[in-house]
Structure 1
Amino acid sequence: MVDVVAQGPGQDPLAQDFVRFAVESGVLRFGEFKTKAGRMSPYFFNAGLFDDGSKMGRLAEFYAKALIASGIEFDMVFGPAYKGIPLAATVAVELARHGRNVPFAYNRKEAKDHGEGGTLVGAPLKGRVLIVDDVMSAGTAARESIALIQAAGAIPHAMAIALDRQEKATENGLDVEHSAVQYVRQQLGMKVCTIAKLADLLLYLSQTGGAEMRAHHERVSAYRERYGVNEG
């Protein structure tokens, strides 16, 4: 169960509980990590480390609660290979537990030439499709999923991700003024549901005692100052 603890004014209790869960699970780590864009980030979120049944169950519950709270409507769930596959399956199970039973599907990286064949597995893609993934860095995975969904005659309607890094995307090796999430919302016209944002992580670090957390907060704040996007 995800136990949402009361927070101060203006805080998102679900987001704060998720950040705490990710840190305690070792999924959200601090140090020096090179991003796909070539930046040295002071933190790294690796959803592949939600690697046992208990962690995946709690993660799915966070997704389901965030989706229900968002009010976003959709007809089915799609998980892009590879990390999106267990996410789509477990989120569909958790949504059903909350009384919202929807079909789900996922893709293979390579087409299967025997059995049912093709790259898609699970329920047929149709209606308004929700893509479930961990984070969006450049939006490349989102565009690939969108192309698959459209080719099947369905509508890429929304995305759900665990963490919005709220930082500038890169195009042709150059920083741009929008994030991948903003691109999906503004340019592709899709809805995006996030469990937590970088701002939630900074709030968590600012409210967690100890010199180590204060140092992490300082480094993450400096990173956001340099690469963060204008959310206005």
Structure 2
Amino acid sequence: MVLEQYQRDFISFAIADGVLSFGEFTLKSGRKSPYFFNAGKFNSGASLAKIGQYYAAAISSRADIEFDVVFGPAYKGIPLCATTVIALATTGNESQRDVLYSFNRKEAKDHGEGGSIVGAALKGRRILVVDDVITAGTAIRESMDIIRSAEATLAGVVVAIDRQERGRDSSLSAIQEIERQHGTPVVAVVTLDNVVEYLQEQGGELGAMAGAMEEYRREYGAA
């Protein structure tokens, strides 16, 4: 596996900002993980601008995904979709383009323009969903329902990290299940394997974490 430069930069950035941390963490599933990814710590203007650039780079790496609108599911997806389209439209991006974006409200508005969608209309368009991570896949499936209801087409999904971890009742990861069940591509800025490779390259204290990450992957990794 060859790490792209934007992937190395993203991992380094995530570690420096405390978004990606190492130790022992009890996940919602009850599993003990040697790492934790908290996208909520991308909480400044500078960090949000950078994350948009990494999402844009991941999107640009996939010429097979064609889309008209970037959609961010409430709530974490809202700033992510905005910063992603800004990065896609910024001079210097390899595939610079001006793309529409929209997001949903958790509760439909019954006055003014009404409805639950803010931004570009979805109907008849190809929709690319952006979110932080896919754990159980609930938020993504809710987005799919919104897209279907709007008579639009799901073009793909982009997330920050693919944990490559199987579900509690399946040998597949949540990302693999979504790809198989819905026939849609899911793109991650980085995967767990990418992170392990980066740590091994760095050596020292970071390199020492690679072993624990690989052991976790062997125990809980998806098929």
The TM-score normalised by the length of structure 2 is: 0.92
Gaps of 5+ in 2: none
The CA RMSD measured in Å over matched residues stands at 1.5
* Secondary structure of 1:95's aligned partner: helix
* Secondary structure of 2:186's aligned partner: strand
Q: 2:106 aligns with which of 106, 109, 131?
A: 109
**Does the C-alpha gap of structure 1 residues 38 and 75 become closer, same or farther in structure 2, counting only changes over 3 Å?**
same
Asked whether 1:10 is paired with 2:2, we answer: yes
Alignment of 1:89-168 (within 5 A): 89-97=82-90, 98=93, 99-126=96-123, 127-168=125-166
> Which of structure 1's runs of 4+ aligned residues deviate more than 4 A?
none
Q: 1:25 aligns with which of 4, 12, 17?
A: 17
Alignment of 1:1-232 (within 5 A): 10-71=2-63, 72-97=65-90, 98=93, 99-126=96-123, 127-170=125-168, 174=169, 176-210=170-204, 212-230=205-223
Tell me the CA shift for residue 215 of structure 1.
3.7
Tell me the CA shift for residue 180 of structure 1.
1.1
- Opposite residue 163 of structure 1, the aligned amino acid is I
* Secondary structure of 1:104's aligned partner: strand
Q: Which moved more, 1:28-37 or 1:196-205?
A: 28-37
Q: CA offsets per residue over residues 46-98 of structure 1, 9 Å max, x none? A: 11111111111111011111111111211111000111000001101111124
- Opposite residue 120 of structure 1, the aligned amino acid is I
Contact (CA 8 Å) 1:95, 1:101: kept in 2 or not? yes
Partner Cα separation in structure 2 for residue 117 and residue 36 of structure 1: 36
Q: CA offsets per residue over residues 155-202 of structure 1, 9 Å max, x none? A: 1120011101001023xxx3x111111112122101112110000111
Q: Which moved more, 1:52-61 or 1:36-45?
A: 36-45
* Secondary structure of 1:70's aligned partner: coil
Partner Cα separation in structure 2 for residue 109 and residue 37 of structure 1: 25
* Secondary structure of 2:121's aligned partner: coil
Gaps of 5+ in 1: 1-8
Contact (CA 8 Å) 1:78, 1:131: kept in 2 or not? yes
Contact (CA 8 Å) 1:36, 1:137: kept in 2 or not? no
The TM-score normalised by the length of structure 1 is: 0.88
Partner Cα separation in structure 2 for residue 81 and residue 11 of structure 1: 31
Residue correspondences, number: 217
Partner Cα separation in structure 1 for residue 30 and residue 120 of structure 2: 37
- Opposite residue 2 of structure 2, the aligned amino acid is G
Identity %: 47
* Secondary structure of 2:182's aligned partner: coil
* Secondary structure of 1:156's aligned partner: strand
